[in-house]
Amino acid sequence: MTEPKPQNDDQPVSEKKRDSSRSEQPNSGRLLLYVLVGLALLTGLYSIIFGPSRIETMPYSEFIAKIEKGKLDTTNVYKLKIGPTYITFQDTKDPESGEKLEVEPKKTRVPVANMGDDVQKELTGLLKEKGIVPDWPEEPVEWQTYLFLAILTAPFILLVVLMLRRMGGPGSALAFGRSRGKVYAQDDIDVTFDDVAGIDEAVEELKEVVEFLSKPGKYQALGGRIPKGVLLVGPPGTGKTLLAKAVAGEAGVPFISLSGSDFVEMYVGVGAARVRDMFQQAAQRSPCIIFIDELDALGKTRSGGAPGSHDEREQTLNALLVEMDGFGSDQSVIVMAATNRPETLDPALMRPGRFDRNVLVDRPDIRGREKILKVHCKKIKIDDSVEVARLAKLTPGFVGADLANLVNEAALLAARRDRKAVTMHDFEEGFERVVAGLEKQSRVFDEEEKTRTAYHECGHALVACSLPHTDPVHKISVIPRGMALGYTMHRPDSERYNKTQTELTNSICCLLGGIGAERVIFDETSVGAQNDLQRATDIARRMVTEFGMSPLLGTVHYSERRSSPFLGSTTASEPAHSEETIREIDLEVRRIIDECLATVLQILRDRKVVLEQMTKELLEVEVMDADHLKRILDEHHPGARIVPGTFADKASGNANAGEVGSGAETEAKSS
């Protein structure tokens, strides 16, 4: 699977438009800053105009004394106002000289703790004696205060309104029920089927969906019903999301993309509301495509309310089932979904009328890998020596994401070495780095440990060359990579989709070659064979329990594990066999391993001279390729039935190919 056409920016066009619109409007933090600065300016302005500089405070006793001494001006009786809690007045004469003031006098405030009847009577009598008639307002509040309060509260009201409007948008704290899907308009999607390579069968099957969307009347005229849903199933990294975008781009319809985890929240009912909102948005833009990635996060089989069930997820799934095939379902909306765990999906979701089409997006074959590599190599500068067909042959089992990673690793290695273009050597080293891990040149090993590792890896290679129907050896190395102290790399000649009992048995022999070499040379084994034993035992157990390859137990399926077809993970179920049957299975597995180990020991004892020579030269060069291995075998054992670099059995004339999906296998000695 390949990526879409390269752009100047990985961000979708619709996201760019939204970002540009957001840049034109201040965000909530910037808006709050503007409001605070405005309030500070208003407060300063108010303090300048109406602040304490224009108002003085006078104690009540001093005010009474001023009246008694006749120092209070009486020319304007309305300058004196008596309220329930304070008294205000303005002198129109200078208290020292007695002359009339030409400028506006300052206001004086006299706080009164309790304006009772006695105080009023005493104050009224004193003022009457001096000829002063005061004003008695209900509550002497100046108009400036009202104006200031209005100016002060208006920005806060505006801020609250704007914040509530923003919080009502998708993904906000007050918008739990809004769909979180990204909406791509018709002009925003520039991905078509021309950008998809390596999965031609899936593309052909989805072209019919494009016709459903672009020409629905063609099918409705004959009474046909447009499929409600299309489920893309396949291993991770094969390009299921890109395929969905290509369908929307070819059909020229809006595209709503989101993940299954976007629906489920801690609050019950939120996911169901988001499902309804999503379909409502799609109906407004119909015809439209809804793409749900990782559908297994949403559509797992319901438990029927048993302990441990998840009510929120089940309610969300129920809402999705109703929207896809309910009374109000819209035929102009097609739901596309992707998953790599189809075995976990609810049967109600998989029935016709909901997900009508299941499209397998499988690993690409050698021709598909070559097309994918060509697309990715257009993005980098490659040397003329690069053979894309050879790289495709070197990478069985790789998906589009793996191939993209391989090309990127090769480009990084070339840049690290200051090269003008990426060479074939960079691709091969990048492949080893992806498969086996980072090379550790600086690690120091004991000479005895390095020798044991070399014998171990040469044992793998010699057994693989001595048996028919095995993948040819591509490289042997005693340079540590990742967790391995050394590795033997096999490369199949072509794609394989099936294996026989003989081929599985020979695969076990190849895995046990390292243990056999250590026993032949050192009379004991090391802990470095742990991974070899684990893989060999797994193959033997599957031969007995799943493939019916045991003459003692017969052609019966005994496995108690259910494996994912794309992830390789297994889940154990309740034991369904008797203890005697389980014991017989263990004995059969041990018999297969013992017989394979006996075959390996016989091969290595008969060719001990070749093993020692291979080990000697491997210790000198540290990395041995297939041509070097073939030269050693031709020189030291020319008459033996040893077939390096080929999958064919020269003695019998049989020719078979390697298994697809196995990848470039490594037999690694790890401590």
Question: Would residue 176 count as lying in a domain?
Answer: no
Task: Reply yes or no on whether the pLDDT at 345 is more than 80.
Answer: yes
Could you give the C-alpha distances from 101 to 49, 104, 237, 271, 332, in angstroms and in order?
Answer: 20, 7, 90, 76, 85
In whole angstroms, give the CA distance from residue 437 to residue 477: 13
Q: pLDDT confidence of 663, banded at 50, 70, 90?
A: very low
Model confidence pLDDT, tens digit, residues 475-488: 888 888 877 788 88
Q: Which residues contact 93 (CB under 8 A, 6 or more apart)?
A: 73, 99, 100, 101
Statement to judge: residues 288 and 379 lie in one domain = no
Statement to judge: residues 572 and 653 lie in one domain = yes
Model confidence pLDDT, tens digit, residues 372-410: 898 888 888 888 888 888 888 888 888 888 898 999 999
In whole angstroms, give the CA distance from residue 42 to residue 40: 5
Model confidence pLDDT, tens digit, residues 319-335: 888 888 765 555 678 88
- Average pLDDT over the chain, rounded to whole? 75
Task: Reply yes or no on whether the pLDDT at 244 is more than 50.
Answer: yes
Q: Confirm if 323 and 276 have CB atoms less than 8 A apart.
A: yes
* Domain range for 74: 51-136
Q: Which residues pair with 291 in a beta bridge?
A: 257, 336
Q: How many domains does the chain fold into?
A: 5
Statement to judge: residues 258 and 269 lie in one domain = yes
In whole angstroms, give the CA distance from residue 655 to residue 657: 7
Q: Confirm if 520 and 604 have CB atoms less than 8 A apart.
A: yes
Please give the pLDDT value at position 652. Answer: 35
Question: Would residue 513 count as lying in a domain?
Answer: yes
Maximum alpha-carbon separation in the chain: 144
Six token digits for residue 124: 């009224």
Six token digits for residue 185: 């308009």
Q: pLDDT confidence of 600, banded at 50, 70, 90?
A: very high
Could you give the C-alpha distances from 486 to 103, 199, 351, 460, 598, in angstroms and in order?
Answer: 100, 35, 50, 11, 24
- Mean pLDDT confidence for 455-471: 90
Please give the pLDDT value at position 354. Answer: 86
Could you give the C-alpha distances from 584 to 172, 298, 518, 554, 591, in angstroms and in order?
Answer: 61, 41, 30, 11, 10
Q: pLDDT confidence of 568, banded at 50, 70, 90?
A: low
Q: pLDDT confidence of 495, banded at 50, 70, 90?
A: confident
Active-site residue identified among 457, 518, 665, 667: 457
In whole angstroms, give the CA distance from residue 69 to residue 298: 90
Q: Which of 166-175, 307-316, 583-592 has the lowest mean pLDDT?
A: 166-175
Question: Would residue 611 count as lying in a domain?
Answer: yes
Measured in degrees and rounded to the nearest 5, phi and psi for residue 374 equal -65, -40
Q: pLDDT confidence of 516, banded at 50, 70, 90?
A: very high
Six token digits for residue 362: 């499988």
Statement to judge: residues 391 and 254 lie in one domain = no
Q: Which run of H or of E encompasses 519? A: helix 513-522
Question: Would residue 2 count as lying in a domain?
Answer: no
With a pLDDT cut of 70, the percent of the chain lying above it is: 68
Task: Reply yes or no on whether the pLDDT at 101 is more than 90.
Answer: no
- Mean pLDDT confidence for 48-68: 69
Question: Which amino acid does the sequence have at 366?
Answer: I
- Count of other CB atoms within 10 angstroms of residue 9: 8
- Cis bond before residue 6 (omega within 30° of 0): no
Task: Reply yes or no on whether the pLDDT at 619 is more than 80.
Answer: yes
Question: Would residue 268 count as lying in a domain?
Answer: yes
Statement to judge: residues 312 and 195 lie in one domain = yes
Statement to judge: residues 209 and 277 lie in one domain = yes
CATH code: domain of residue 453: 1.20.58.760
Statement to judge: residues 418 and 269 lie in one domain = no
Statement to judge: residues 506 and 624 lie in one domain = yes
Q: Confirm if 141 and 124 have CB atoms less than 8 A apart.
A: no
CA Rg value for the chain? 42
Query: Does residue 617 have an active-site annotation?
Result: no
In whole angstroms, give the CA distance from residue 296 to residue 567: 13
Residues in the chain: 671
Give 55's DSSP letter: E
Statement to judge: residues 17 and 69 lie in one domain = no
Question: Would residue 270 count as lying in a domain?
Answer: yes
Could you give the C-alpha distances from 482 to 243, 432, 441, 479, in angstroms and in order?
Answer: 34, 10, 11, 10
Q: Confirm if 350 and 302 have CB atoms less than 8 A apart.
A: no
The whole model's pTM is what? Answer: 0.65
Q: What is the DSSP string of 325-359?
A: SSTT--TTEEEEEEES-GGGB-HHHHSTTTS-EEE
Question: Would residue 641 count as lying in a domain?
Answer: yes
Statement to judge: residues 235 and 342 lie in one domain = yes
Question: Would residue 173 count as lying in a domain?
Answer: no
Tell me the three state secondary structure of residue 596. Answer: helix
Task: Reply yes or no on whether the pLDDT at 596 is more than 90.
Answer: yes
35 or 111: whose pLDDT is higher?
Answer: 111
In whole angstroms, give the CA distance from residue 68 to residue 74: 13
Please give the pLDDT value at position 518. Answer: 92
Model confidence pLDDT, tens digit, residues 3-18: 444 444 444 434 444 4
Task: Reply yes or no on whether the pLDDT at 2 is more than 70.
Answer: no
- Mean pLDDT confidence for 595-621: 91
Please give the pLDDT value at position 300. Answer: 82
- Mean pLDDT confidence for 223-228: 78
Q: Confirm if 206 and 230 have CB atoms less than 8 A apart.
A: yes
With a pLDDT cut of 90, the percent of the chain lying above it is: 12
In whole angstroms, give the CA distance from residue 147 to residue 457: 90
Statement to judge: residues 116 and 230 lie in one domain = no
Six token digits for residue 508: 């076990």
CATH code: domain of residue 401: 1.10.8.60
Q: Which residues pair with 257 in a beta bridge?
A: 182, 291
Q: Confirm if 293 and 346 have CB atoms less than 8 A apart.
A: no
Six token digits for residue 24: 């034109």
257 or 85: whose pLDDT is higher?
Answer: 257
- Mean pLDDT confidence for 72-97: 64
Phi-psi region of 346 (alpha: psi -120 to 50; beta: other; left: phi over 0): beta
Statement to judge: residues 354 and 392 lie in one domain = no
**Which of 175-189, 205-219, 264-278, 357-371 has maximum average pLDDT?**
357-371
Task: Reply yes or no on whether the pLDDT at 649 is more than 50.
Answer: no
180 or 130: whose pLDDT is higher?
Answer: 130
Task: Reply yes or no on whether the pLDDT at 112 is more than 90.
Answer: no
Q: Which run of H or of E encompasses 38? A: helix 28-50
- 3-class DSSP string for 114-138: CCCHHHHHHHHHHHHHCCCCCECCC
Model confidence pLDDT, tens digit, residues 282-305: 888 878 888 888 888 888 887 655
